[in-house]
């Protein structure tokens, strides 16, 4: 650890010395064409960049997604396809925007990565600049079909799009199968039926592995709900009468069996949509259609509000 820090310091110092334009002049200096140039031909070893990757990337890679940045061969693949430079230096979208790692990563550390990439590129006579090729069928390609709506951590904020984080593999699998066969209809956006139908078996395996590993972490809702107290009270009454919580919440708020969904804290509008779909015969289920069969819209709304709010810290 001490050695790594020393290496990092040396690198930072050398970066600041070699790039005069990179003087610490402010946080918002543009990166791209006006970014400082590395001295061509200067060799930067992987051992120099490894501690930077370890500090800033290893908390998520490869556990939340490939690649393994500690593995030089894999890292080199991302030099070649242009993605390392693009995400870390040009766009600055890695580390994940908003993550603690992203706040902690310094421009000097980004500079180290840039210097390494350019050193690898400039290594041979015939190796020209790396041209970012997009889209590249990289290891995460299948998930790219999902994250525009569901978010990289399965907690995409768009209304009507359910959180996937915290759902089990068998549950997610069943839903994709039902969308594909048409047994379940996406009433919110109409997208899931065609998306599920076009996934290859390999892609399906990949996205199931990916999303079922993500942990539930409900973002707090600041949504203003009219008539909140009355809805919560009615929702609680109904939930107790029917026993929603006994099927849907184990101690940690997850389902009591892995084949069933987590609903506590799920988005309110999504919950309401699903309860209506069960009642109106637009979504199949072993249990739910019977549970909500005779309920009015008002009751379903009260239930959706109550179940959603249970996720905001209150004990079931």
User: Tokens 């009270």 — which residue?
Assistant: 233
Q: Are 52 and 109 in contact (CB under 8 A)?
A: yes
Name, in order, each residue with C-beta under 8 angstroms of 239's C-beta and a sequence gap of 6 or more: 245, 303, 306, 307
> Per the structure block, which two tokens stand in for 151?
């978010």
Closest to ligand HEC by CB, 37 vs 246, is: 246
Give the separation between CA 217 and CA 219, rounded to whole angstroms. 6
CA 130 – CA 145 distance, rounded (Å): 26
10-39: contacts with ligand HEC (CB under 6 A): none
What is the C-alpha to C-alpha distance for residues 142 and 207, in angstroms, rounded to an integer?
6
- Based on its alpha-carbon atoms, the radius of gyration of the chain, rounded to whole angstroms, reads 24
Residue 123 CB neighbours (<10 A): 11
The reply to whether 311 sits near ligand HEC by the rule CB under 6 A is: no
From the list 45, 70, 42, the residue with the least C-alpha distance to 56 is 70
Q: Which stretch binds ligand HEC (CB under 6 A): 20-28, 40-48, 80-88, 117-125?
A: 80-88
279 binds ligand HEC, rule: CB under 6 A: no
Rounded least distance, CB 196 to ligand HEC, Å: 7
Q: Which of 44, 89, 149, 232 binds ligand HEC (CB under 6 A)?
A: 149
Q: How far is the CB of 7 from ligand HEC (least distance, A)?
A: 16
Find the shortest distance in angstroms from Cβ 289 to ligand HEC: 7
Could you tell me the sign of the dihedral formed by the alpha carbons of 303, 305, 311, 316, in that order?
Answer: negative
Q: Is the peptide bond before 99 cis (omega within 30 degrees of 0)?
A: no
Asked if 115 touches ligand HEC (CB under 6 A), the answer is: no
Nearer to ligand HEC, 19 or 279 (CB): 279
* 140 in Cβ contact with 80 (< 8 Å): no
Residue with smaller CB distance to ligand HEC, 32 or 41: 32
Burial class (CB in 10 A: 0-12, 13-18, 19+), 137: exposed
**Can you tell me the distance from the alpha carbon of 82 to that of 107, in angstroms, rounded to the nearest whole number?**
19
Q: Is 260 in the site for ligand HEC (CB under 6 A)?
A: yes
Taking the least distance from each CB to ligand HEC, the nearer of 16 and 206 is 206
Q: Which residues contact 171 (CB under 8 A, 6 or more apart)?
A: 255, 258, 259, 260, 261
Q: Least distance from C-beta 133 to ligand HEC, angstroms?
A: 11
Chosen residue from 38, 119, 175, 212 binding ligand HEC by CB under 6 A: 175
Q: Nearer Cβ to ligand HEC, position 36 or 316?
A: 316
| Piece of 1-9, 22-30, 39-47, 86-94 that binds ligand HEC (CB under 6 A) | 86-94
* d(C-alpha 266, C-alpha 311), whole Å: 7
Find the binder of ligand HEC among 80, 92, 169, 187 (CB under 6 A): 187
Binding segment for ligand HEC among 8-16, 114-122, 126-134, 258-266 (CB under 6 A)?
258-266
Which one among 31, 76, 183, 247 touches ligand HEC, defined by CB under 6 A?
A: 247
Residue from 11, 57, 120, 264 in contact with ligand HEC (CB under 6 A): 57
Residues that bind ligand HEC (CB under 6 A): 53, 56-57, 59-61, 64-65, 69, 78, 83-84, 87-88, 94-96, 99, 101, 138-140, 145-150, 152, 160-162, 164, 167, 172, 175-176, 186-189, 191-192, 195, 199, 207, 239, 242-244, 247-248, 260-261, 263, 271, 273-275, 285-288, 291, 303, 307
């Amino acid at each position: 650890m001490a050695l790594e820090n020393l290496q990092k310091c040396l690198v930072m110092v050398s970066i600041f010395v070699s790039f005069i334009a990179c003087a610490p002049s402010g946080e918002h200096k543009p990166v791209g064409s006006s970014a400082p140039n590395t001295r061509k031909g200067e060799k930067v070893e992987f051992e120099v960049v490894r501690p930077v990757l370890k500090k800033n990337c290893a908390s998520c890679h490869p556990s939340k997604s490939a690649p393994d940045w500690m593995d030089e061969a894999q890292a080199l693949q991302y030099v070649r396809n242009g993605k390392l430079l693009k995400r870390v230096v040009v766009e600055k979208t890695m580390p994940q925007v908003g993550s603690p790692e992203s706040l902690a990563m310094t421009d000097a550390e980004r500079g180290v990565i840039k210097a390494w990439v350019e050193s690898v590129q400039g290594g041979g006579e015939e190796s020209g600049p790396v041209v970012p090729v997009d889209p590249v069928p990289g290891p995460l390609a299948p998930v790219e079909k999902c994250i525009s709506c569901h978010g990289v951590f399965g907690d995409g904020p768009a209304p009507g799009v359910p959180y996937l984080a915290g759902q089990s593999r068998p549950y997610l699998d069943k839903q994709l199968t039902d969308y594909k066969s048409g047994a379940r209809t996406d009433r919110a956006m109409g997208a899931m039926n065609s998306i599920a139908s076009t996934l290859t078996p390999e892609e399906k395996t990949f996205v199931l592995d990916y999303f079922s590993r993500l942990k539930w972490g409900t973002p707090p809702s600041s949504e203003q709900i009219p008539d909140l107290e009355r809805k919560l009270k009615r929702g609680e009454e109904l939930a107790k009468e029917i026993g929603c919580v006994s099927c849907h919440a184990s101690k940690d708020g997850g389902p009591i069996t892995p084949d069933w969904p987590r609903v506590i804290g799920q988005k309110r509008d999504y919950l309401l949509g699903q309860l209506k779909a069960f009642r109106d015969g637009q979504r199949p289920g072993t249990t739910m259609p019977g549970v909500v069969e005779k309920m009015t819209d008002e009751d379903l709304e009260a239930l959706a509000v109550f179940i959603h709010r249970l996720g905001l810290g209150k004990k079931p």
